[in-house]
Amino acid sequence: MFRRIGRFAVHRPWLTIAGWIVAAVALAMFAPGLKSTTDETEFLPSHYESVQAGKVQERAFPQTESPSAIAVFQRGDGGKLTQADRNDVVRITKALNDKHHKGIAKVVTNPQAVSPNGEIALANVIAVDRNSQDQTVPDAVKDLRSDAKPLLKDTQLSMGITGQAATSLDAKESSGDTDSMIMSATLLLIIVLLLVIFRSPLIALLPVLIIGVAFSVAMSLIGIVAHAGGLKADNNIAPILIVVLFGVGTDYILFLLFRYREELRGGEQPKNALVNAVTRVGETIASAAGAVIVAFVALLLSTMGMMRAMGPSLAIAVAVALVAALTLVPAVFSLLGTKAFWPSKAWKKKPRNRLADGLGRAVAHRPGVIAAGSAVVLAALAIGTFSFKPEFDTDSQLPQKLESVQAMKDLQRGFSAGQSDPAMIYVESRNGTVLRAGDLDAYKAKLEKIDGVGSAALTATSPDKSVAQYTVVLKYRPTEDKAIELAGGPLRDGAHAAAPEGTRAVVGGTSAVLSDVEDAVDHDYMVVFPVAGLAIMVILGLLLRSLVAPLYLMASVALGFGATLGATVWLFQDAQHKPGLLFMLPVIVYLFVVAIGTDYNILMVARLREEVRRGVPAREAIRTAVSRSAPTIASAAVILAGTFGVLMLADNSMLQQMGFAVAFGILLTAFIMAMLLVPTVTSLLGHKAWWPGHQDAPRATEQSSPGGAPLEEARQ
């Protein structure tokens, strides 16, 4: 099959290229844009209580005005507010309210909005519609910030806006800068590394252009699938898509180009060399991509909508990269021939790669020592995994210089940390009868007695008086661990127990949502990990026609997963004294390191099988496989790790952790597992590694070297 694909692309290059260009243009013209959401409840199934609370709110209080941001006032010298300062707060608030920004119902303050220590004053920014998830309110916050500057000019006050809408605005603007920076750094890194590897400007630029076309196609297809399937894309998916498509796409192109160059060195004509390259590595690339795709598709089993949206998007991107590597790349290089390598002449002669040859000899002659040493290094790093603490405080991942972050810190100098985003409790009559005022007052008093609650207030009742809404201000920031534990534990338990007879109480709000997210993540660990691992093992079994090889390959990858997560824990959590790491980090490491990193194991084992089939002795086959594959794996891993490592340049701590973990994990997979552990274990197992088949049996069709040279010549 892969030979037919290669022949078509190589012998009909213009048709292949035209097909890609037409597809890219047509899809870009008609594909809908990606949907996005900032509502955490849309990422959870309906059986979670925070989602049920949202449903009660929508039903009982439709279109209800809701606080969406808070303006925080303080003196420039940090002292107590004078009466003149308080008058200025009232004047500025009224002026902002008179602007009548779209999406904002009112901006209000009152005498009670001054902190007990007299240093902080607040003004609430009330949104017209609590259910609005578009950019209207964040844009209004941006305008309010601009409008406030001249109003503050002749006062002793400074003002910052925080809260949900302000945080959303700052996160989006910060992410926009990050996306452009990541794209630029990724492209520059790929071009420089390809230039160093091949010493050819064309090869340095062509993969980037090819992947650029594939990126356009992938984004359009993702938009179509998202629109048809109702998927929602999280804001953080853009930088991840960039590094995945460019990183994985470059890997597949490198697999093909290294084999193409090897065929040329063996004496093949350019077109035949390209067809042979697609034939030889096509199955390897397809299997590698298949492992990544099924791992991403396994995210559909996640209970979190964010992960379910991310999975198909990444799977589509990898599938497009695969098709581009097998069709568009051969077509382009078919037109260029050997001119693609200009001005380098390295494609004409076999290189003297002493490092790779030495590594091949060492692996072949001391498999036991190298296998044990590699396993010890990975196991030692994996110890850090036991100290992993999930961190659900997403606000702490944002750059500290953002106005919303600084304003939140100022607010906490005078008020309970939960003032900006209180928990919401809804008491609903089970039979639709009117709730009694005495019961509602008593319920409020019981809520205020719960440890960790700063204050509680009955803020609204439904038109039919069957549902009551309470705003509960916690003593902790809504996204920090203490607030999450309180909302999911004592507050929820206390709210349920204190509910008046004949009613039910449900707890919602950001803290409650994050508590449910924590439960959802624990569920995903138990479901997504095993399913993805089993699917990858099936693909490895089909590729290698073996039951044994997939077992030790996945065991080595699991060890690499532990080593990667452990090293990340030591660097960020222990060395930098962070309270915890991104709660999704194990899922991300598992999917990116286990799935993508398996590419290198597949490439190594496939090449080892190819060498064994030539009829050479097992030790010689291992030496040749390692020495021939090491440059390809090393180059691909450095580029892929570099593209993910670019994420460490972001101000966002979440992206930094993700970038380091995936980059480090890929390097571990390539340089320790694929080059050392996997070939040595395969060598130690010998024929048993291929049980129950006979994939290591010599085959007549393999009795030649990669370039078509006779076996005896290949042995020399």
Beta-strand ranges (E) seen in 538-674 are: 581-582
If you average pLDDT over residues 369-379, what whole number do you get? Answer: 91
Peptide bond into 692 cis (omega under 30): yes
Which pLDDT band, with edges at 50, 70 and 90, does 714 fall under?
very low
Q: Which residue has the higher pLDDT, 594 or 140?
A: 140
Is residue 14 pLDDT above 90, yes or no? Answer: yes
Is residue 649 pLDDT above 80, yes or no? Answer: no
Number of CB atoms found within 10 A of residue 16's CB = 20
Which two tokens mark 169?
């605005």
Report the candidate in 671, 680, 655 with the shortest Cα–Cα distance to residue 560.
671
Which two tokens mark 607?
């090449």
If you average pLDDT over residues 369-374, what whole number do you get? Answer: 91
Is residue 42 pLDDT above 60, yes or no? Answer: no
Contacts of 443 (CB under 8 A, 6+ apart): 427, 468, 470, 498, 499, 500
Q: Is 160 left (phi over 0), alpha (psi -120 to 50) or beta?
A: beta
Instruction: Estimate to the nearest angstrom the gap between the alpha carbon of 609 and the chain centroid.
Output: 34
Specify the pLDDT at position 711: 31
Percent of the chain surpassing pLDDT 70? 89
Specify the pLDDT at position 43: 61
Specify the pLDDT at position 232: 58
169-178, 299-308, 315-324, 401-410: which has the highest mean pLDDT?
315-324
84-98, 175-189, 258-272, 278-292: which has the highest mean pLDDT?
84-98
Report the distance separating Cα 289 and Cα 599, nearest Å.
Answer: 8
Report the distance separating Cα 401 and Cα 405, nearest Å.
Answer: 7
If you average pLDDT over residues 290-318, what whole number do you get? Answer: 82
Q: Which amino acid is at 259?
A: R
Q: What is the pLDDT of residues 458-473, one digit of tens each?
A: 988 988 899 999 999 9
Q: Using CA atoms of 586, 591, 597, 602 in order, give the dihedral in degrees to the nearest 10.
A: 140
Average the pLDDT over each of 20-24, 231-235, 454-458, 526-530 and give the range with the smallest value: 231-235
Burial of 7: CB neighbours in 10 Å, binned 0-12, 13-18, 19+: middle
Specify the pLDDT at position 100: 87
Contacts of 636 (CB under 8 A, 6+ apart): 250, 251, 254, 255, 599, 600, 670
Q: What is the pLDDT of residues 145-203, one digit of tens each?
A: 999 999 999 899 999 998 878 887 877 776 655 667 767 777 888 888 888 888 888 88
Peptide bond into 490 cis (omega under 30): no
Strands 390-391 and 581-582: parallel
Burial of 196: CB neighbours in 10 Å, binned 0-12, 13-18, 19+: exposed
Report the distance separating Cα 338 and Cα 234, nearest Å.
Answer: 43
Report the distance separating Cα 50 and Cα 487, nearest Å.
Answer: 10
Report the distance separating Cα 484 and Cα 476, nearest Å.
Answer: 9
Tokens 């809908």, located at residue:
32
Strands 467-474 and 423-429: antiparallel
Is residue 44 pLDDT above 80, yes or no? Answer: no
Report the distance separating Cα 32 and Cα 525, nearest Å.
Answer: 33
Contacts of 38 (CB under 8 A, 6+ apart): 133, 164, 168, 235
Q: What is the pLDDT of residues 609-634, one digit of tens each?
A: 878 777 777 778 888 888 888 888 88
Report the distance separating Cα 496 and Cα 491, nearest Å.
Answer: 8
Q: What is the pLDDT of residues 671-709, one digit of tens each?
A: 998 899 988 888 888 778 778 766 555 655 554 444 443
Report the distance separating Cα 172 and Cα 217, nearest Å.
Answer: 24
Average the pLDDT over each of 381-390, 445-454, 634-643 and give the range with the smallest value: 634-643
If you average pLDDT over residues 410-430, what whole number do you get? Answer: 85
Specify the pLDDT at position 65: 66
Percent of the chain surpassing pLDDT 90? 21
Average pLDDT, the chain: 82
Average the pLDDT over each of 35-44, 99-108, 161-170, 667-676 and give the range with the smallest value: 35-44
Which pLDDT band, with edges at 50, 70 and 90, does 712 fall under?
very low
Helices (H), 462-547: 481-488, 490-498, 510-544
Would the CA dihedral through 31, 37, 42, 43 be positive or negative?
positive
Sheet of 157-162: strands edge to edge? 104-108, 121-127, 66-75, 157-162
Does the pTM exceed 0.85?
no
Report the distance separating Cα 217 and Cα 245, nearest Å.
Answer: 11
If you average pLDDT over residues 551-566, what whole number do you get? Answer: 88
CA within 13 Å, CB half, 632:
27
Is residue 490 pLDDT above 90, yes or no? Answer: yes
